[in-house]
């Protein structure tokens, strides 16, 4: 089963959800604030955030040194829905 691993050096403020994909964010460096189902979650290096299918999520801020990895499983092309 393909399991893509992506990365980003900033959190993008674009609320969306996935119908079937789980996203697992691994915070490698810096700090950020994620918002999942309208609940802010402070993140820092060493944290992990699991976003389940159907949960609206976005990032509202990130430090200049922020960096995360993201795992999407199961990978389903076109599963992203903007909120």
Per-residue pLDDT for the chain (83 aa), expressed as one digit of tens each?
678 999 999 888 999 999 999 999 999 999 999 999 999 999 999 999 999 999 999 999 999 999 999 999 998 999 999 99
Residue 83's SS3 state is coil
Return the residue matching tokens 């990365």.
Answer: 7
Q: What's the pLDDT score for residue 1? A: 67
Q: Give the DSSP letter of residue 42.
A: E
Give the model's pLDDT for residue 3.
81
């Amino acid at each position: 089963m393909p399991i893509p691993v992506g990365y980003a050096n900033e959190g993008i403020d674009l609320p969306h959800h996935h119908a079937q994909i789980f996203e697992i964010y691994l915070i490698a460096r810096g700090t950020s604030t994620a918002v999942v189902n309208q609940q802010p979650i402070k993140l820092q290096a060493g944290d992990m955030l699991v976003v389940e299918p159907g949960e609206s999520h976005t990032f509202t801020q990130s430090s200049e040194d922020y960096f995360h990895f993201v795992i999407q499983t199961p990978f389903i092309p076109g599963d992203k829905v903007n909120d």
